Amino acid sequence: MDSVGDWLIMLIAAGVMGWWIVRRVDRWLHEPPDARLRRLAVAGGVEEDEHVSLLKEQGFHVLSGKHRIPLGVSVDDGPVMPTRLYFDYLAEKENKYYLVKLERPRQPMEWTASGLRERLLVYALLFPDCHGIVLVLPQERQIKTVRFKVEAGEK
């Protein structure tokens, strides 16, 4: 009798696990493209400061602030070295999401195509649902929006 009961418990457990996996995959397949950004928007709080005020003046609604994305880097199958990627705010304007970076005096932005690519392309690749990356220049009280477009290669 014990073996019949054990098999029954195993079959029920396998059925529940299978049902759970199917539900998770189905939810993942049907979630909207910007669901990851929506989760980020809920995750962080926003402190009112001059940067947030400047963004509001330009028509942005700041959803959350100070995000840290943990990454791991491995060289030649060596140990994984932890690192982080930061962005300052997640904002919305006209139902489009934007990542916001503040320009820091000790790390000025190089306003060339290659300089922007080196500093900001990683954000565009990590969050393809974002409409662009907004750079806040606090000293000039300016906001600039950067977008990347993949062009057709030369033949």
Per-residue model confidence (pLDDT) at position 14: 93
- Residues 101, 133: Cα–Cα separation, whole Å: 7
Rounded to an integer, the average pLDDT of 16-25 is 90
* 35 φ/ψ sector (left φ>0, alpha ψ -120 to 50, else beta): alpha
Q: From residue 26, give the alpha-carbon distance in Å to each of 7, 11, 21.
A: 28, 22, 8
Categorize the per-residue pLDDT at 38 as very low, low, confident or very high, splitting at 50, 70 and 90: low
pLDDT for res 40: 62
More confident residue, 153 or 111: 111
Burial of 3 (0-12, 13-18, 19+ CB in 10 A): exposed
For residue 15, is pLDDT > 90?
yes
Percent of the chain with pLDDT over 90: 15
Band the pLDDT of 18: cuts 50, 70, 90: very high
Torsion (CA) 111, 114, 115, 118 in degrees, nearest 10: 150
Mean pLDDT, range 35-55, rounded to an integer: 69
Strand partners, 83: 71
Entry pTM: 0.67
Q: How far apart are CA 142 and CA 140, in angstroms?
A: 5
Q: Kindly indicate the confidence band of residue 2, based on its pLDDT and cuts at 50, 70 and 90.
A: low
List, for residues 112-142, the tens digit of each pLDDT value.
988 888 888 888 888 888 888 999 888 888 8
Q: What is the DSSP string of 38-62?
A: HHHHHH------HHHHHHHHTT-EE
Note the pLDDT tens digit of each residue in 67-108.
Answer: 888 889 999 989 999 988 888 888 888 888 898 998 888 888
- Which of 97-107 are b and which e, b meaning 16 or more Cβ less than 10 Å from the residue's Cβ? bbbbbeeeeee
Average pLDDT rounded to a whole number, residues 37-66 = 75
